[in-house]
Amino acid sequence: MKLSVWSSYYIDISPEEMVLEFEKYGFRDCELSDEHSLALMKRGDPAVVGAEFRSFAEAHGMDFSQGHLLLSARICEEASRNEVLRQLDLFRAVGVKNAVLHCQSGINGLSFEEIFDHNVQAIRILADHVKDDGITICLENLTGPLTGTADALIALIEAAGRENVGICLDTGHLNLCDDRDQAKFIRRAGRHLKALHLADNDRSGDQHILPYAIGSVNFQEVLSEVKALGYEGIYNLEIPGERRAPLPIRAMKLDYIRSVFEYLDQITG
């Protein structure tokens, strides 16, 4: 099990400093956040900058096999989608294999069917851009009808008709839905499950917190079901609710994370 914390756990330091912090505390896998992606993209040509960052990360034993595409992106609008395409050029150079995407659920004046079709067209464009690079576009479950269930995500995948489109399960988002059965979602996602956002909440909001605090996600069930699929990606925690602390405190939390997931790994076989 490759344990990961997404890079914006260290949102307040540079991409290189982030790598050094994770290295210091023994983490070797990470999801590259949209914030650190933007910081890199501001430096110039994404292909050049990405290759330089990859060399730095590899020299320090870090692998960014997963990345989060821009949270602000409105993929059905050409100008915004072009920024995502540029970010995919960065991901290609960094070595990202699973690129997590938020679909665009709100488009004024359009019916659900029209919004669905616009998203399908956008997904095809993004998937085709990286089809020869071993990169999968991973549609993340949110909380609305467009992407709130595994069935909804599979409908988008089937309509897009591209082999390099999959699913990212966000356990925190699913916990906020009426049907919050994690095991059911994972089994339905099946072979399409390519990425994970592990986070907890108490259902009062998307708190993005660690397991076994005040949240209600059953992480033993989640890991058992994911392992049963033969999932090969990283077990990535997306936990912005935990980063409002000095660096030494965040380091202590990393020790807690490792201990929790060593325990879960043992009891889930």
Please list, in sequence order, all residues whose beta carbon lies within 8 angstroms of the beta carbon of residue 225, skipping any fewer than 6 positions away.
Answer: 182, 183, 186, 187
Residue 147 pLDDT class (50, 70, 90 cuts): very high
- Contact at 8 Å (CB) between 195 and 138? yes
Question: Tell me, what's the pLDDT at 269?
Answer: 87
Cα torsion 176, 141, 2, 228 to 10°: value is 90
Mean pLDDT over all residues of the chain?
A: 97
130 has pLDDT over 90: yes
Question: Tell me, what's the pLDDT at 106?
Answer: 85
Q: What is the pLDDT of residues 188-240, one digit of tens each?
A: 999 999 999 999 999 999 999 999 989 999 999 999 999 999 999 999 999 99
Which domains are present in the chain? 3-267 (3.20.20.150)
Query: How many CA atoms are closer than 13 Å to the CA of 155, on its beta-carbon side?
Result: 14
Q: What single-letter amino acid sits at 90? A: L
Tokens read off for 101: 């995407």
18 has pLDDT over 90: yes
Please list, in sequence order, all residues whose beta carbon lies within 8 angstroms of the beta carbon of residue 111, skipping any fewer than 6 positions away.
Answer: none
Q: What is the pLDDT of residues 27-84, one digit of tens each?
A: 999 999 999 999 999 999 999 999 999 999 999 999 999 999 999 999 999 999 999 9
Question: Tell me, what's the pLDDT at 203?
Answer: 97
- Contact at 8 Å (CB) between 159 and 141? no
Question: Tell me, what's the pLDDT at 10?
Answer: 98
